[in-house]
Amino acid sequence: MEKFLEVAPHSLALVLSQLRRGDEEGCPSSSSPPPAAVKLQHHTGYEVFANFKAVNMQHFWNKALTDALSEIFFLGWIDEHVLLIQGKEVHLQVLRNGWTRRTLKPPQGFDIMCIGECVTHA
């Protein structure tokens, strides 16, 4: 049986992939410029976190999600692709449920590849 060490208690990792500008604006990929010509904007982790909260706070019809978003905190930003979020377990579970039900939206300019726990093998 494998042992796991919890790196950051009550935390969640959102693994993101940055969209190219054409993808972000909803343009068909055939009209997108070649990848070498596409400039990706550099983001700070807190900017990505703030945008993630802002985009998802628009779910005024989903009180549980808006309540959870108002209670979570920015924990970190790893390698410009992993957003670490911390909060009470009940709020993190609401985010997990939103991801499962496809109601959780990614920050602008990104797509959520997966959501995971912040654990490591011991």
Cβ contact 16:48 at 8 Å: yes
Q: Give the start-end residues of each E strand in 19-117.
A: 73-78, 82-86, 110-117
pLDDT in tens, 96-112: 999 999 999 999 999 99
Q: What is the mean pLDDT of residues 22-45?
A: 52
Q: Where are the domains of the chain?
A: 4-121
pTM, whole model, 2 decimals? 0.75
* CB neighbourhood size of 93 (10 A): 14
